[in-house]
Amino acid sequence: MRLNLPYRLGANWQVVWRLFLLASVLHCVVASMSAEEVQKHLDLGKKLLSEGNLNDALTHYHAAVDGDPTNYMTYFRRATVYLAIGRSKSALPDLDKTLEIRPDFGAARIQRASLLVKRAQLDAAAQDYEFLLSKQPDNAEARQELENIGPLRASLDAAKDFNSRGDCNGVVGSLEPIMEKIPWDVSSREMRADCYMAMGMHHKAIADIRVTTKLVSDNTAGYLRLSQVYYSTGELEDTLREVRECLKLDPDHKQCYPFYKKVKKLNKQFTKAEELISEGRYEEAVEKLDAAMKTESKEVQYEMRALGRKCHSYYKMHNIKEALKICTEVLNRNPDDANALCDRAEVYILDEKFQDAVNDFQTATKIDGHPQQADEGLQRAQKLLKQSQKRDYYKILGLRRTCTKTEVVKAYRKKAIKWHPDHYKGKDKKMAEKMFIDLAAAKEVLTNPEKRQRFDQGEDPLDPEQQSQQNFHGNPFGGGGFPFGGDGGNTQFKFHFG
């Protein structure tokens, strides 16, 4: 009945059961392997090892160990291969078995002591070196390594003492010179990672924690901590990658699972917000950013990230009041946010506060790694400032820079009635003539997309100094010429005041 049980459990169990039976047969074959066959595996393993075929060599050493578990050399050679492929945790038990069978095997004793030092098991390493020296007093390598253990122990003790007093500089200073000699010491790496975090050196902390996830089997705590450090740096994709490693080891982990759900939701919100911004759907983007701030209300970096993108979105929406409010809040908390400086400068331009725009762009250009927008924006803001001190077509019509073409035409018609020289009732006819000409110029520029764009970039398309080859033309009432006849090339205004 027992033999038939797996077959009732499905196809996968049938495969497992067959593999189990095969392994049992192989075990019987190996158990009855002759000394000659064991030696053949050892020779083949040695040959493959010399050729660099480490995994194939390991297969033959496995067979040799199973064939003759009393042969210390089979364990030692397998340990050598384990070390060559970076599997030190597997090598150590083989070295233990080697020395159990033959305690005076010097090469194995030296190798094990070296591994113990790397794990900071200094007392055990010292015992190995002392034992070997008792058998081989002239072994210079063992003597030198034994002498090196003293300074290592002193540095470790100093690091622990600094740590007990909360002196992270002391901890890091004590461990950095010796870490390459004890690279597999989990406690030292965790201690140094704590200090790196306290010192704000997150990426160095990440490097130490990552090593611990490899040194400790099924290290869910290590992956959780690694993901939390990434989260504190604002790296959501990296956070998700590491917390998923925790869940691979334990899908129902009480800390990793809820953390994963939260980070996944937050990442989705920020990603969607960026998509909406790229599509010009700024109001929807602001809603997503507000939702992200509710999902994560404690970590400042995510609040600042959301506020920064809201600052940009409100600027793009031409919502001057909200944009200035949010951008200024961002800059009050982080004066070196070059993107927020550029966005607020653009809002100042919309609000026709050109000197403020120049100031923000200038500040942004002094920040390392500032966006190209800062340099380009500064030049544009300076042109606009200079332009505003001459003839500003928006002010002539009494409009904001966010006005539409329809608003331009409406404003022009209203003012043209008042300032038309033939209908002006005031005494200063010359002023009326000048105002009417300025109104016509403003309408021409602001209803022409190309000319308006040039004007918004700080260039007056009708300024003879800037446009030496372009003459004033255009019919403010529609059509291609001036409203009073001619093609506009050399036309002179002739007004009749009666």
pLDDT, tens digit, for every residue of 459-483? 878 876 665 544 444 444 444 444 4
- pLDDT tens digits, one per residue of 412-454: 888 887 877 777 777 677 777 878 888 888 888 899 999 888 8
**pTM to 2 decimals?**
0.70
Q: Is residue 346 a contact partner of residue 333, using CB atoms and an 8 Å limit?
A: no
Mean pLDDT for the stretch of residues 181-189? 96
- pLDDT tens digits, one per residue of 228-280: 999 999 999 999 999 999 999 999 999 999 999 999 999 999 999 999 999 99
Spatial distance between the Cα atoms of 401 and 393, rounded to a whole number of angstroms: 10
- Among candidate residues 388, 363, 386, 385, the one with its CA nearest the CA of residue 374: 363
Q: Is residue 489 a contact partner of residue 473, using CB atoms and an 8 Å limit?
A: yes
**Number of Cβ within a 10 Å radius of residue 6:** 16
**Per-residue tokens: 356:** 């403020």
User: Above pLDDT 70, what percent of the chain?
Assistant: 86
* pLDDT score, position 23: 53
| Residue 367 CA neighbour count, 13 Å, CB half | 20
User: Above pLDDT 90, what percent of the chain?
Assistant: 60
Is 306 a residue whose pLDDT tops 90?
Answer: yes
